Structure 1
Amino acid sequence: MKPFVLFDFDGTLVQSKLLAIRLFNDLAGKYGGRRIAEEEIGRLSDLSIPDRLRALNVPLYKLPALALEGKRAYRKESAHLRLAEGMRETLGALREQGCRLGILSSNTSENIRHYLETNGLDVFEAVHSASNLFGKDKAIRSLARAMGLELSRLLYVGDEFRDVEACRKIDVPVAAVTWGWDSAKLLAEAGPDYLCHSPEELLSIVKGWE
């Protein structure tokens, strides 16, 4: 039986890194932080979220409010974001293999559904928002319970260290993708089951799923 493939949204399905940086820079001063310079993006990608916030002078306790305001601004500009290169074809191929697909993201369900509708992506049977930035393990467990899915039959696909950590807590197989925010080095340190460098590689992993 093929896995239920559960995707993160930003950085995994869509190329939203530059938009996220721009929104952060627009809001940084309000939350005590500083703007991200283009030349430091690579270095920041090697850091965990707490370390990244320290480097940008944003207190961790201000992150939820900053993220909420960022999500409100996100919808106005997200419709024109591009899917990760090769992702549309990979999603179609996964469906042809008999995989069920869903999305679980820290972004809002409204933002995600708006993007999917605008871009003609109707391949996902579930779209769920994890409101707690560091609570994806609980959100994944809740979604699996609601849909009658065994955790071992899920494959979570995400682009951040915290995605891998969340899956490790509940023994959900996880594929970390390197085309999003966190660097391949940081993702490897988290110890994912799979480290993917392209959507085509993800497809190969699912083809060989046992």
Structure 2
Amino acid sequence: MGHAGHRARRQSPPLSPLPFRLVVFDFDGTLADSFPWFASILNEVATRYRFQRIAEDDTEMLRGLDARAIIRHLGIPAWKLPFITRNMHALATRDIAAIHLFPGITAMLDALTHSGIRLAIVSSNVEPNIRTVLGPREAGLIGHYACGASLFGKARRLRSLIRTTGERPADILYIGDEIRDAVAARDAGCAFGAVAWGYTRLDALAKCDPALIFQTPRDISASLAKIPVASPSVTNPQHPG
């Protein structure tokens, strides 16, 4: 998925010494492998709310678009979006056993936590669904949840999170898999890290000029979880006397 030639890379804004003090994750498509479930129920939702059904050969084309372009393509009026979102949350709760974390996510969250980086989630999904998929142990690693954001409301949630945590935007990395995640990070003044395994194709995400691109969850911990090694303490020799 995406271009193998892309590797984790750094651009502006400048990184903190850790290099980031707070890493914020999107959930669906970033931590959770929910796209197969999403694709399986989308036409059910389309029938209920009377928007265009998705043909199988349209999927890759739609994965290259931003959310506004997808909505236009499907012919969804803005007034229907809150109703569709609530229905999707209910369906996710119904089918929660079908949604799992991507391989390597647990080890990555552990590595970031052990390196002293604070973790948070900003997502359009609801917190109970997110906690269920994470499981009690991994859910406990997340210090802040800002969930249930509207389709285009993630920047507001990020700004609220910045105020709550007291961190500077320059010390925060928002990691996501959609163009709207990149836009939210930019609008909140945070750096954006793009993942290659989510809903949006990596070639489309790369056009958003992410600060970092991750091919695998392991790339996240390899790039960010830099645990300082303490210098050996020097003790003065004991002199008799």
TM-score, normalising length: structure 2: 0.80
1:68 and 2:89 matched: no
Q: CA deviation at 1:118?
A: 6.1
Aligned to 1:95: 113
Give the structure with the larger helix fraction. Answer: 1
Change (3 A) 1:120 1:188: closer
Aligned to 1:32: 50
What are the superposed Cα offsets for residues 157-196 of structure 1, whole Å, 9 maximum, x if unpaired? 1110011011111220110112110111111111211121
1:142 and 2:142 matched: no
Aligned to 1:131: 149
**Aligned residue type for 1:28:** A
Q: CA deviation at 1:208?
A: 6.3
Q: CA deviation at 1:11?
A: 0.5
**Aligned residue type for 1:100:** R
**Aligned residue type for 2:104:** G
Bigger mean CA offset, 78-87 vs 200-209: 200-209
Task: Output the aligned Cα RMSD.
Answer: 2.0
The sequence identity of aligned pairs, in percent, is 32
Q: CA deviation at 1:156?
A: 0.7
1:41 and 2:59 matched: yes
Q: CA deviation at 1:127?
A: 1.5
Aligned to 2:212: 194
Q: CA deviation at 1:120?
A: 5.4
Aligned to 1:180: 198
Q: CA deviation at 1:197?
A: 1.3
Provide the rounded CA distance (Å) in 2 between the counterparts of 1:94 and 1:183. Answer: 25
Q: CA deviation at 1:23?
A: 2.6
- What number of residue pairs does the alignment pair up? 209
CA contact (8 A) 2:101 2:134 kept: no
- Which protein is bigger by CA-based radius of gyration? 2
In structure 1, list runs of 5 or more residues that go unmatched. Answer: none
Matches within 5 A, 1:5-20: 5-20=23-38
What are the superposed Cα offsets for residues 80-107 of structure 1, whole Å, 9 maximum, x if unpaired? 4221121111111111211111111011
TM-score, normalising length: structure 1: 0.90
CA contact (8 A) 1:113 1:127 kept: no
Change (3 A) 1:101 1:182: same
Aligned to 1:78: 96
Q: CA deviation at 1:42?
A: 1.2
